[in-house]
Structure 1
Amino acid sequence: MDGNKIFQMEYNSAGNVEKMNIIFFGQYSYPQGMAGTKRIQHAISALKKCQGIRISVVILTQSSRDNTLTGSYMGINYKTILGDLYGIKTVLFSPILCLKTCHVLKESFCPNQNNIIYNYGPPDLFNIGILSYAKQLGYKIVFDIVEDYDTAMSISHSSSHKIKTFNIRFLVRYIKYWAAGIIVISSHLQRKYQDLSRNQIPVHYRPISVDFRHYSTSISDFGDPVTLFYSGSFGIKDGLPLLLSAFDNVAARNSNVRLVLTGKGSREAMGATFSRIAGSPFKQRIEYKGYLNDDAYYSTLNSIDIPCMTRIDSAYANAGFPFKLGEYLASGKPVIASHISDVSRFLVHKRDAILVKPGDCMDIANAVEYLLNHPEEARLIGESGREKARVHFDYNEQGQKLLNYLRSI
């Protein structure tokens, strides 16, 4: 699809283009970041092509080590209210954070326009006061939900995460009192929020998304050595121990395979991963590249051979839809993916990807062996997976539906 496509306009009774003022809001890294950041960027990239839409980004807090706190990215202005708030500082400075954010939202409100706050994530203790004030000002609040917090307690280890999860589980039961709209990433979440809102709030299904400008148009054969690949947050749901065990199994019989890991996670998750790698008899063939910026990440993804999305079998993992899967498919590489959530809604086993039983180390190892032993089939799977991503996950294709939804609320 043409990346410069201008979406169909809507006009008011006077024949003028309906104007919208959309503020993308939340607590995530911007403009460089991981899955949540990219989901927001794709929505912005789609909507900014439409005439009559004013877009800005307001971040509650983020690290100045990762991003410049205030600036412009791809023509869109963004502002971080307070940078570098961690732990107890977040609690101590929360009144100032709230007041400063409310001031920015008041100054950003545009009379006689459709004012929308696109909040990434659910209502929580830090944003609910701000969003309540914004609603009083006249903003319509849209929540973009990508996780089921009713199932998140199973992966909570820290006290702070448990407290956050508990308050979110309470507040989402009353989401209809704040929300003009709810956007979800999976069928599970679609059903959940339709029930929670008693079908009084329109729920829009927006799955994972892909920007095809980042990927090579040609598909190469396997390299030597063949490189397996994982990128993400190294969380429990991601099943890194399974992938590492499967790699050890395959590496014992194949000297021409290696594993590349990128991303970042909690201190505990990264410590456990490094400890597991240190204990591998094939640790010399496992490389952790660290957290990569966008250019380095896509360059790496375009150079590897077999991307692996090997999630565990848990209610939490099945509730969402892994963003990385869309990126993996768009690369044109043969993807190994756990059969979770909405995966089978879009992909067919051994046609678009190799689907494995979640939590099954041997199934992952067998999938790798199959691709190594069937290079021509692997190439066809990669081509078909890319086409599925183009049809279902191209952010341009999703853009008109998202625009129509936001105009309808």
Structure 2
Amino acid sequence: MSEAPIVIENRKELTYLLSEAAELEHGLMCEYLYAAFSLKREAGPGVSDSQLEAVERWRRVLLDVAAQEMLHWALVNNILTAVGSAPYVSRPHLPHQAKGYPAGVQVALVPFGERALRHFLFLERPEGMELADGEGFDPSGPALPIMSERDLVPWGQEFSTVGHLYRSIEAGLTRLAEKHGEDGLFIGPPQAQATAFWPELLAIVGLATAGRAIELIVEQGEGARGNWGEAHYGRFLAVLDEYRTLREADPTFDPAHPVTAAGVRPVEGFEPDVRITDPATAAVSDLFNVVYDLILQMIVRYFAAAEETEDQRGALAYAFVVLMVVVIKPLGLLLATLPVGPAHASATAGANFQLAYRGNFLLPHGRVAFIRFRERLDEAAAFADGIDATPEARSVLDAAAATLRSLSEGLSGHIEAL
């Protein structure tokens, strides 16, 4: 199946499509984390002791793929900064089904199961492969306008696979390097490049490194040309096959909590399909999203840092990694067990990754940013202390509050040096 060509004739359209790629990687990461958090952690109704081993293995696959999506997100932001743009961490609102992409590309929070896995396979499928999306993910919305080489205003263009989008971006980089020269295209400051956390996270300094970054993204997602066994597509296919085998052997097998993409309140005019009305669940959901928002602000500051030393950038990096692993993950797992409220007695909440806004997350001044980060960490810790929760939830919240305070104290030593 051939896909329509994507036109990239100027830097603005290039950065528009790179930003679209960044928000798509961000959305996929949220999808995979939501599904991972939805899996049960103990044997009980729907999961036997012997089945639990497979469930934990699937969770590890989802978390590993989500981590690779974050690597892809970071690589795209390195390319963005290399060509003279700002890092991009926004995305369409969730838990609402995200719009704004080509009609066949949809992002939504779905609990682990066959529907979710078929949706993941559709999103990660190799370029040119015909495959149906998961149930309920029918193409919606009009086709995007066709761009010509003479158009100046940027807009989204049609793509069917993530690989097609990235191959087109790679071709656009080559085209613009011919037009401006490599030095004229890659004008971003070298110190803005992120190279921590993953050995594959390379600094983008020209066409060669940009090409290597895009090749890695495509290979990890859909696989090297025709070889997808160890790529995201192949790994999800293996999980689906094993899941179907276990379900056929035991029709009562039900590895996921009954999570629903519920929200506490409307945001920017978007009304959640399901409202969280349980007070404790609503508070935990708010805490999760406050920490998530803070992580995004820290990541943007890390990429945009112009005043910070390497030690200060390292402190920022340490803070947002700890927040992801030690705070976000336990809160996400907890939310999958908490009730939505009396109107949805059989449903649990899940981590909805709700953003309070889609605007710019950048705090542009170094010292101010560190003060704001510390202030927000302290506010989040105090909020966690005040949540009236069960003993099991309280242990998670107490650990989160202790981590938030520890990170706040760690950042305090860097404020006066800025």
TM-score by length of 1: 0.25
Higher RCO (C-alpha 8 Å, min separation 6): 2
TM-score of the aligned structures, taking structure 2 as reference length = 0.24
Structure having the higher helix fraction is: 2
